Structure 1
Amino acid sequence: MAPARTTATPRLTERLTVPWWWWPLGVALAAFAAAEIGLGAPGPRGWAPLAVLLPLTVGLLLWFSRLRLRLTEPEDGPEFEITFGNDRAHLPLSAIREVVALDASGRADLLGRYADPNAFVVLRPWIGTAVQIVLDDPADPTPYWLVSTRRPVQLAEALRDRLPAEAAQAR
């Protein structure tokens, strides 16, 4: 028997991985460096750099790709969550005043001339677009979150759709 479907919008999840072409490039560069380091060494000493650099490169690329964005709906209300491996940053949707989808130039502006040093910034340089989440919490000195995403419009709409009624009326 299939589980009952709900009419609620499904949760949004996005993993901010490195571009696909970094994998072959990284492995090729690691193999080339290992070959240069082990050049002319007899036996296992010639293969040791390869055994070290290839797993190190794969591990580094996986570490760069560990960032995950999630829109969850726990029992105490929906929240936006950013996961960095084992660390998590939670933002209850009740603290959000406005959500703005940014293109590359808007992201650059918020990182440059319009930057606020108190902002919570989670960016990946290989992703050009982002979302600005303006907060409405007088107890928190953080004015906004700036978060990289490959789908800024979808993330902004998903967050806006789940904002509390007071914030939705203020839009």
Structure 2
Amino acid sequence: MRYEERLTVSWWVWLIVAFVGGAGFVAVAPISTVVGLIVAAVLVVGIGLAVHLGAPRIVLTDEDLRVGRAHIEREYVGAAEALRGAEARAARGPGLDGRAFMNFRVSVPDLCRIQIVDPVDPTPYWLTATRHPDELARAINEGQRRAVSSAPR
């Protein structure tokens, strides 16, 4: 495994989950405090599990690249570029190619643009959120250099 990251949500999303649980308690507590506590617990645990288990993973191996449920063989992965700040905002907005594969997360502002070099795939690149765009781009680009240098001549 060359790189692995799980795109978990930021701390402030957990505040929203707690707020929803509190709202469930407040809605049901006038009827029964015990039922209100049960509703709050079920909401917090249910939403918390959905948020945690639904977090996509980025996994780069010598064989393939996986982002969430999408995967592509390593031979079709081109150069990668880390995007932060204004570059990332532009890549998400006016600079976005509608054919690109996109994996955005509201709580992860940085991106990595990964070129796709498969001649039959109309997807020009993958654009994925990552907390470590430089590390992901470095891992992809190092693997690409290794594959080029070990190719038969």
Q: TM-score surpassing 0.5?
A: yes
Structure 2 length normalisation: TM-score? 0.83
Contact 1:38–1:48 (Cα < 8 Å) also in 2: no
- Contact 1:26 / 1:57 at 8 angstroms: preserved in 2? no
One-letter amino acid of the structure 2 residue matched with residue 70 of structure 1: V
Within a 5 Å distance, the mapping from 1:12-91 to structure 2 comes to: 12-23=3-14, 25-42=15-32, 44-64=34-54, 66-73=55-62, 78-83=63-68, 88-91=69-72
Q: 1:33 to 1:100 in 2, by over 3 A?
A: same
Query: Larger radius of gyration, structure 1 or 2?
Result: 1
8 A contact 2:112–2:128 mirrored in 1: yes
Whose RCO is larger (CA < 8 A, sep 6+)?
2
1:1-171 map, 5 Å: 11-23=2-14, 25-42=15-32, 44-64=34-54, 66-73=55-62, 78-83=63-68, 88-163=69-144, 164-165=147-148
Shift in CA distance, 128/47, structure 1 to aligned 2, threshold 3 Å: closer
Unaligned runs of 5+ residues in structure 1 are: 1-9, 167-171
The alignment-based identity, stated in percent, is: 31
RMSD (Å), alpha carbons: 2.1
Please report the TM-score for the alignment, with normalisation by the length of structure 1.
0.76
Q: CA deviation at 1:20?
A: 2.8
Q: 1:21 to 1:115 in 2, by over 3 A?
A: closer
> Would you say how many aligned residue pairs link Structure 1 and Structure 2?
147
Per-residue CA deviation, residues 25-64 of structure 1 (Å, 9 max, x unaligned), is: 1353133212221132136544442243222231232244
Rounded to whole Å, the distance in 1 between the matches of 2:6 and 2:91 is 22
2: distance between equivalents of 1:46 and 1:136?
Answer: 55
Structure 2, unaligned runs of 5 or more: none
SS of the residue aligned with 2:11?
coil
